[in-house]
Every structure is written in structure tokens, then in C-alpha cells.
Structure 1
Amino acid sequence: MDESQDGAHVRWEPVRFRVPCPNCSGGVRMRARLGVRADLAGTGYITETCGDCLGRGWLPFGG
């Protein structure tokens, strides 16, 4: 029996449940920003990394 079959290198970890982040879409969220240039002002949407899930798109469920 070789080393890959004897179970010596099997690492068991507890199951971690996760849920989709409700504050973003795939780790990216859109923020409305106000822009001012000379005598013009306007709004637009800028993409940014979600600070709640750190860009992963998932949150840990439970503790």
C-alpha cells in the first residue's frame, strides 16, 4: 500500500457553512457617488469591493 492510500495524509476539517452575502453581488457592490467638476455636478455608480465579505461573495453561517 502506498502513502496515498493509507490515510496518513488525509486532513480532516470541520464543515463550514456559508451563505451568499446579502450586501453585494459576487463580492462587488455598486456605490452611488457625487461628482463635481468645474461648474457641473452629477451622480454615477462606482464598483467597489464589498467590505462585509471582503470580496468573496460569501459570509460564514453560524459560529
Structure 2
Amino acid sequence: MNQTNLWIIDTFLALFVVMLARSREVSWIQVTLISLFGFILAGTPFAYPVWWMLQTIIGAFAIG
């Protein structure tokens, strides 16, 4: 997969998230979770900071 394909996937996922949030059919928490896990499942380079952020958030709840 080359860089162009990755940008197309990321752009599609970002557009999907924006359109889903604007439809107001689901809550903002659900939109956030769908977008985070969508980027992780897509396996694009954007998944690395998302994975770090999720580990930090889950670690804060697990430890605290």
C-alpha cells in the first residue's frame, strides 16, 4: 500500500466520521469510538497516535 492509498483511506474515514456526527443519529461518544477504532482497524499510520491515546486513557482508568 503506498502513501496515496493511505491518504485516501484516512480521508474517507475522516469524512465518514464528520458525516456521522452531523447526522445526529448517534451520540458524540459513539462517533468518537467509531472513529478511533476505525482508524486502528484500517491500519494506517494515524493508528499509532490513536492507539497511544487509547492506551493512555484506558491506563488512567485502570490505574486510577
Alignment TM class, shorter chain as reference: under 0.3
Q: Which has the higher contact order (CA 8 A, sep 6+)?
A: 1
TM-score, with structure 2 as normaliser: 0.25
Higher relative helix content: 2
Higher relative strand content: 1
Which structure: larger Rg? 1
